[in-house]
A and B are shown apart, each in its own frame.
Chain A
């Protein structure tokens, strides 16, 4: 086989993400299934990405699992923490990255990248849903607005209000009270975004935020968050269409390195 195909799978709390790579360089398959650890999501994502790329399981040289479900995915040859995988994926997508902010379904993390292109430090949120994707899901339900519409509405906000509660449940109460006062939903959404940005931004500041700064995770598709983070940190925050697949990309890259090491290959 001329090409070494590796698969990275990131099994999170709310979604299962797969990436196929050739020779640790070229992405040629991707899949996101919106159910995560403990469901059939990981296997569905795995099968779909192979099917769509026209390959069989036996074509895959090495599979690395990451994310909260990494330890229980039977198709994996190895597992690596999502911290290292997000760092590796981030450097692949943004070679000059120094700070990666990842907002996942149930946690938020900030990764510092050293001059050698490797993770040099990380910080994670404490045991609390504030500043995570779950917070946005709760707000989506309360406001009855699909998450996909958040950015457009939030960026149309004309009046600044604040959500002061750190706790997701209390923040929900605040949002309900704003709705009861007929505050515009655009303004409430912008406040929700600022709330997350301040929470995650503080984590980044504690870690020592440096440019280039990148936002990954499914939440990065929400331009309202990106805008709020840029305002809070006073630096540009970069994203990429693969932001949600960043961990899986890192896993696929590790898969290539591990396969090369096991087989005595020179990394091309």
Chain B
């Protein structure tokens, strides 16, 4: 079986389990994307990820209907569009073809943003269900200190105790050690897949990472995920370079910000048309979490790329630009992700002072296609390519 077939099968099994959870005496949890999934895998909980679901709905073109419905319900059009799509979905789920089952409990970690807390509080109130919160505030430190770790550590064990009561499942520390090991191996394999793009002739399109990432978001701590990713890595390594024999090599770009899911196909096509390969994405890197100890794991959850100190965040990007030998950086200013887009003006400025490459922004949104203008995007992307062409010509001259 190919890696792609394995990934599709794992995804199908994952949703199948959620849909039959109640028949099998299980509860369904809704969980935020960067909640410590080691807890979930250790306790073998049945969960789904609404952010992932909203992204998929946006990529399928269901975003507009969901956003309009949420706004009609009274939610501001300025709130996170992942939340907005989710609110629209729960109102109109009969009309949406791609469904996820409703939750019996909620797992929320605030390490990627604080709007998640309000999103999940609303759901908890609406369905009268328990919500477990692990609060990891915006990390203003370059290196996470012990005080912050202790704050998270305490909540970590409290969350497990609460979950045991809610689900009736037990947390086994031996299994926890195994899950941590597998999770780190999966993180490592994910990073290795991404690092293949550092090759001069990258053998695959970096935008494919957006397609694969659902697996590492939802099933990072599983042996089956490790197997599928290992096979994917081997398949990609053995592929012929995409630009082999092509006279003019594609420009190598780093993509910054959340994927603009409503225009994802457009993005992939336009990169191809403008002779660019996305060889790195800070967004997908967020799931390449590697660690060796329990404290390292907790620390890793404080280094989310959109919610760390500007110095560390900028270094993350600088390192990726160097590692992937990028010719340019394209920044998606996602209208409703204030926490991520808000830091970009200053970060762009800081990167421009050291990296001698074009850095260009475009406006869009992670899940509300109404915030994306195709013509404006096209002009920026073409101008970006022409800037890189000019710099390339100068290097050759």
Contact = CB atoms under 8 A, between A and B. Distances in A.
B386 A80 contact: yes
A25 B380 CA distance: 28
Nearest to B382: A81
Contacts of A127: 363, 371, 373, 376
B363 A81 contact: no
A83 B390 contact: no
A83 B386 contact: yes
A78 to B, nearest CB: 12
Counting chain A CB atoms within 10 Å of each CB, the highest count among B358, B363, B386 belongs to B386
A239 B386 CA distance: 25
A81 B390 CA distance: 13
B353 to A, nearest CB: 11
A127 B387 CA distance: 22
Contacts, number: 43
A4 interface: no
B375 interface: yes
Counting chain A CB atoms within 10 Å of each CB, the highest count among B375, B383, B390 belongs to B383
Contacts of B352: 121
A68 B363 CA distance: 17
Counting chain A CB atoms within 10 Å of each CB, the highest count among B333, B345, B361, B390 belongs to B390
Nearest to B349: A206
A120 B363 CA distance: 21
A130 interface: no
A68 B375 contact: yes
A154 interface: no
B358 A121 contact: yes
A82 B333 CA distance: 22
B387 A119 contact: yes
B339 interface: no
Interface in B49-106: none
Nearest to A67: B379
Contact of A122 (B345, B360, B375): B360
Interface string A92-120: 00000000000000010000000010111
A20 B371 CA distance: 38
B358 A81 contact: no
B383 A81 contact: yes
B394 interface: yes
B269 to A, nearest CB: 14
Given A80-B386, A118-B390, A119-B386, A124 B371 contact: no
B376 A122 contact: no
A81 B333 CA distance: 21
Contacts of A81: 379, 382-383, 386
Interface string B353-397: 000001011010000000101011011101100110010001000
Contact of A116 (B345, B360, B376, B394): B394
Contacts of B383: 81, 83-84, 119, 122
Contacts of A126: 333, 363
Nearest to A122: B383
Contacts of B379: 68, 81-83, 107, 124
Contacts of A116: 394
Nearest to A79: B382
Contacts of A82: 379
Given A83-B383, A127-B371, A107 B376 contact: yes
Given A68-B379, A81-B383, A82-B379, A119 B390 contact: yes
Interface string A113-152: 0001011111110110000000000000000000000000
A122 B387 contact: yes
Interface string B305-336: 00000000000000000000000000001000
Nearest to A111: B383
B173 to A, nearest CB: 51
Nearest to B362: A124
Nearest to A116: B394
A97 B378 CA distance: 26
B368 to A, nearest CB: 12
A124 B380 contact: yes
Contacts of A68: 375, 379
A120 B388 CA distance: 9
Nearest to B377: A127
Counting chain B CB atoms within 10 Å of each CB, the highest count among A116, A124, A127 belongs to A127
Interface string B131-161: 0000000000000000000000000000000
B53 to A, nearest CB: 26
A126 B375 CA distance: 13
Nearest to A80: B386
Contacts of B358: 121
Nearest to B379: A81
A84 B386 contact: yes
A120 B390 CA distance: 8
Contacts of A80: 382, 386
Interface of B: 333, 345, 352, 358, 360-361, 363, 371, 373, 375-376, 378-380, 382-383, 386-387, 390, 394
Given A81-B379, A84-B386, A107-B379, 7 more contacts: A71-B378, A80-B386, A83-B379, A116-B394, A119-B383, A126-B333, A127-B371
9 contacts: A68-B379, A71-B378, A81-B379, A83-B382, A83-B386, A119-B390, A121-B358, A127-B371, A127-B376
Interface of A: 68, 71, 80-84, 107, 116, 118-124, 126-127, 206
